[in-house]
Amino acid sequence: MKGRNERFHDRYARVYDAVYEKSAYWRFYRDLTWHNVKRFLPRDAGAEIADLGCGTGEWGLRCMASGYRVTFVDLSNEMLCRARERVDEEYPGRESLFIKSDICELKDLPSDRFGLALAQGDPLSFTEDPARAAREIRRILRPGGVAIASVDSRCNGYDYYLESGDLDSLEEFHKSGKTEWLARDKRERFPTHAFLPGELTKLFERAGLEVVDLCGKTCLDARGHAELLEDPKAFRRLFNIELECRREPAFIGRAAHLEIVVKKPEK
Ligand SMILES: C[S@@+](CC[C@H](N)C(=O)[O-])C[C@H]1O[C@@H](n2cnc3c(N)ncnc32)[C@H](O)[C@@H]1O
């Protein structure tokens, strides 16, 4: 039987692209993501890339545009269908794989294969077993392969509980990082995990991966001031400021999401 997470994302798949495309904030966010991902695209064009929690395929499609072969993975069948439609439209005849799977159980993906694995848009926060997901990511990466994951940041969640005055839940959140996806319809809510920077680093180190980079996304409150981003010049100026602060620990604490880059050792 489908869990709430899967049901929510199956429904969300229908409107997902429209939500992200029309918002200046999400354009800003996505430009930051791609700015980071581009730095770690494999040098060899024949390399394979895994887009884990691929949604409608945004990152895998961008990788396909650079010539890589992509395996798209998602818990939601509807998200995968939309990703496949986009691939068929944009790259008819190009070979790619679509696998329905939880990020913590990648048994249909081969070991030591991928030059790059992406887990963008919080699938590690959404899975019930992030430690197992980190081990699976290590397993599927080829030696020297890199993974880039974004997750919900714990520091960003405290104000929600303070504003609601629910101190029991605040204490629980403070201790464990456990919270829930705040869908408007309470029946659609599902458990999620918000990470502290050190916790995220340890998660991957314990899985046998080396941490290469950690930053916040977004450190400026771009969502709260999205109207500024409608002006292309202001967009560019804010983008440059964001790039300059995103690795400073104090700024990382302001961000809604954390983004980590990890590498599988060569040997
Ligand atoms: C916010 S969307 C991000 C989609 C895409 N990666 C992006 O950045 O645009 C999160 C995606 O993760 C998927 N997801 C949620 N939980 C997952 C899990 N446990 N394993 C794999 N995918 C999951 C959802 O179905 C959804 O497509």
pLDDT at 122: 97
- Show the tokens assigned to 62: 């961008």
The H-or-E segment that residue 259 falls in is: strand 257-263
Q: Strands, E, within 68-185: which ranges?
A: 69-74, 97-100, 114-119, 141-152, 178-180
Predicted structure pTM score? 0.97
Q: Identify residue 118 by its one-letter amino acid code.
A: L
Nearest to 3 by CA among 51, 61, 75: 75
How far is ligand 1, taken at its centre, from the CA of residue 234, in Å?
30
Domains of the chain: 4-263 (3.40.50.150)
Ligand 1 atom nearest the C-alpha of 74 is: 22
Binding site membership of 54 for ligand 1 (Cβ less than 6 Å): yes
Number of neighbouring beta carbons within 10 Å of residue 47: 18
Q: Write out the two tokens for 86.
A: 């986009």
Confidence at 116, pLDDT banded by 50, 70, 90: very high
Sheet of strand 97-100, all strands in order from the earlier edge strand to the far edge: 97-100, 69-74, 48-52, 114-119, 141-152, 257-263, 210-217
CA of 83 to the centre of ligand 1 (A): 12
Which pLDDT score, from 0 to 100, does residue 22 have?
A: 82
Question: In Å, how far are 9, 49, 188 from 211, measured between CA atoms?
Answer: 30, 19, 34
Q: Is the CB of 217 under 6 A from ligand 1?
A: no
pLDDT band for position 25 (cuts 50, 70, 90): very high
Q: What is the mean pLDDT of the segment spanning 112-123?
A: 98
**169-188, pLDDT tens digit by residue?**
999 999 999 999 887 788 88
Mean pLDDT, residues 4-9 taken together: 94
Residues 127-169 pLDDT 10s: 999 999 999 999 999 999 999 999 999 999 999 999 999 999 9
Q: Give me the phi and psi of 42, to 5 degrees please.
A: -60, 145
CB 210 within 8 A of CB 202: no
- Atom of ligand 1 at shortest range from CA of 51: 6
Q: Which atom of ligand 1 is nearest to the CA of 118?
A: 6
Pocket test for ligand 1, best of 5, 82, 108 (most atoms within 8 A of CB): 5
Residue with CA nearest ligand 1 atom 15: 123
pLDDT in tens, 252-264: 999 999 999 999 9
Average pLDDT for the chain? 96
In this prediction, residue 9 carries a pLDDT of 95
Q: Are 50 and 101 in contact (CB under 8 A)?
A: no
Q: Rounded to the nearest whole angstrom, what is the distance from the C-alpha of residue 235 to the centroid of ligand 1?
A: 27
Q: Which atom of ligand 1 is nearest to the CA of 127?
A: 19
Instruction: Give the sign of the dihedral formed by CA 197, CA 217, CA 18, CA 84.
Output: negative
DSSP element (H, E) containing 40: none
With left for phi above 0 and alpha for psi between -120 and 50, is residue 262 left, alpha or beta? Answer: beta
Average pLDDT over residues 220-227: 94
